Structure 1
Amino acid sequence: MRPVCLLTGAGGLFGQAFVARCAAEYRIVAVHGRTPVNRASQNQTFVDPLNPGGRLALNDDPVHTIRADLSRADEIERVVDETLNEFGQVDLLINAAARRHWAPLLAPGAIASASEVFDVNLLAPLRMSVEVARRCWLADPAGNLAANRSVVQLSSTAGLYVYPDLGQALYGTSKAGLNHLTYHLASEFWDLGVRVNALAPDTFPGRVATQDVIDGVLDLARSDVTGRIVDLTADGG
């Protein structure tokens, strides 16, 4: 049976592309915010008005979609509850949800946005990883190893380098925190038989192709490494 992938940020650029490419490989729980997932769910099908009886690829391998506000701890608990009620397990957790409020720190409203940026970019991956580990992985280290279960964080090169005068202080700091959190989760989840890594791509699709980002996430998910931050830059690094 296909492994279960719990994916946050499924309504974003990476999430939509990942669902389109990987729905046949994983049973995907696609967690999104205001933007819906462009894929059929268990309770939804798409119809071509010009060919009502024809096949649409969007209806192949439907995903389980959940709308949630990941800045709230109770919403993360609800997501895990619904995932376990539907599938009973999580094999791969991809924390891809992000807030990108870019502005100089002295700009009006910049500091007011800090809580939301850190809640989604740092606290949500922390809460989701711990909740899944506690509910799904804590009691079965041998099974986790056998299934090669892991967490992949979608970070950014903004968490590795300072890009001056782009207003990335809050975003970059949140991603730097996510990178360091990845190291700590990898250490603490080691005894659970669960790997934790992060991919830090440059801007996509402008400087890095979205499909290259998906390749990087899948490479980490299929590997045997843990505690690694992979820098994915425009030159292929």
Structure 2
Amino acid sequence: MSTGEPARGDRRVCLLTGAGGTLGDAFCRALYTTYDIVAVCGARIPATPSQHEWFVDPFDPQADVPENESRVFLIRSDLTAPGEVERVIDLALARFGGVDLLVNNAASLRLHPQGLVDGDSAIDDFESQFALNVGVPLRLSARLAQRGWMHDIDGNRARNRNIVNVSSLSGSKVYPGGQAVYAASKAALNHLTRHLAAEFEEFGVRANAVAPDSFPARVPTEKVLQAIVELDAGAMNGGVYSVVAN
């Protein structure tokens, strides 16, 4: 495993994809003083302090400013591009020395209201949606295992290392509105989660998924965030947990 600046105190290191989206932004804003976060994003970035900023109190320049306790390390990346998953993992390991929590949150949602047979848009979007929604979580999980987790069984168990995949209720229910391709990708992610849990258990890494209803329209984003934190702190393995309003 690459070595770098150690995590501060006992804070956990989280590699988070989709950091510029609704859930990723909420994760960074709520937990940037609790976790060391490798925040992987595209054009949008989370609205939280990062390594690109340093804050100074103009009335007391030597004072400690709380925002500088942020350990959000931003990485811009198209994770579907060749070599990008490996680059992100190398940067994360070099920066913090290890990863305790992988949150696969990045996703592509493109609806096809005309359905699967009326036009070619759903067919044309199939590969790109599966590449991000399934392929990227698979590659990140496998590469992290190969480059660190498989060789640190005691550390994995001691630090309760785990994966949380962000799925959707669409992966188990049929909704109108042209969600077939997206739903199929989330169903695949759910089953990938179960296989990761079974295969990674031997070296002490857990895998679970959260499957929220539409957020923030039906479920508060904070409730989805809470579910991720609870899975990280718990001992569950191989579950796909629905997150609904009630």
Q: Which runs of 5+ in 2 are unaligned?
A: 1-8
Contact 1:39–1:62, Cα closer than 8 Å, also in 2 = no
Matched, 1:123 2:132: no
User: Could you give the per-residue CA deviations for residues 136-166 of structure 1, whole angstroms, max 9, x where no partner exists?
Assistant: 2011111101110000000000001111x31
Q: Which runs of 5+ in 1 are unaligned?
A: none
Instruction: Supply the distance in 1 between the matched residues of 2:54 and 2:47 (Cα, whole angstroms).
Output: 11
Amino acid at match of 1:9: G
Which of 227, 232, 235 pairs up with 2:238? 227
Query: What is the RMSD computed on CA atoms of the aligned residues?
Result: 1.9
Instruction: Supply the distance in 1 between the matched residues of 2:172 and 2:178 (Cα, whole angstroms).
Output: 15
Contact 1:100–1:117, Cα closer than 8 Å, also in 2 = yes
Amino acid at match of 1:202: D
Matched, 1:212 2:211: no
For residue 58 of structure 1, report the CA deviation from its aligned partner.
5.6
Contact 1:73–1:127, Cα closer than 8 Å, also in 2 = no
Which of 40, 43, 46 pairs up with 1:34? 43
For residue 73 of structure 1, report the CA deviation from its aligned partner.
4.0
User: Could you give the per-residue CA deviations for residues 102-139 of structure 1, whole angstroms, max 9, x where no partner exists?
Assistant: 11223442221111110100000000011111112011
TM-score, with normalisation over the residues of structure 2? 0.89
Instruction: Supply the distance in 1 between the matched residues of 2:216 and 2:22 (Cα, whole angstroms).
Output: 9
For residue 232 of structure 1, report the CA deviation from its aligned partner.
1.1
User: Which residue of the partner structure matches residue 19 of structure 1?
Assistant: 28
Instruction: Supply the distance in 2 between the matched residues of 1:46 and 1:115 (Cα, whole angstroms).
Output: 43
Instruction: Supply the distance in 2 between the matched residues of 1:58 and 1:102 (Cα, whole angstroms).
Output: 39
Instruction: Supply the distance in 1 between the matched residues of 2:233 and 2:138 (Cα, whole angstroms).
Output: 22
Matched, 1:110 2:110: no
User: Which residue of the partner structure matches residue 157 of structure 1?
Assistant: 169
TM-score, with normalisation over the residues of structure 1? 0.92
User: Which residue of the partner structure matches residue 76 of structure 1?
Assistant: 85
Instruction: Supply the distance in 2 between the matched residues of 1:216 and 1:178 (Cα, whole angstroms).
Output: 17
Q: Secondary structure at the match of 1:138?
A: helix
For residue 97 of structure 1, report the CA deviation from its aligned partner.
0.3
User: Which residue of the partner structure matches residue 166 of structure 1?
Assistant: 177
User: Could you give the per-residue CA deviations for residues 195-229 of structure 1, whole angstroms, max 9, x where no partner exists?
Assistant: 00000000000100000000001111111110000
Instruction: Supply the distance in 1 between the matched residues of 2:131 and 2:78 (Cα, whole angstroms).
Output: 10
- Same amino acid, percent of matched pairs: 45
- Tell me the matched-pair count: 231
For residue 56 of structure 1, report the CA deviation from its aligned partner.
8.3
User: Which residue of the partner structure matches residue 134 of structure 1?
Assistant: 146
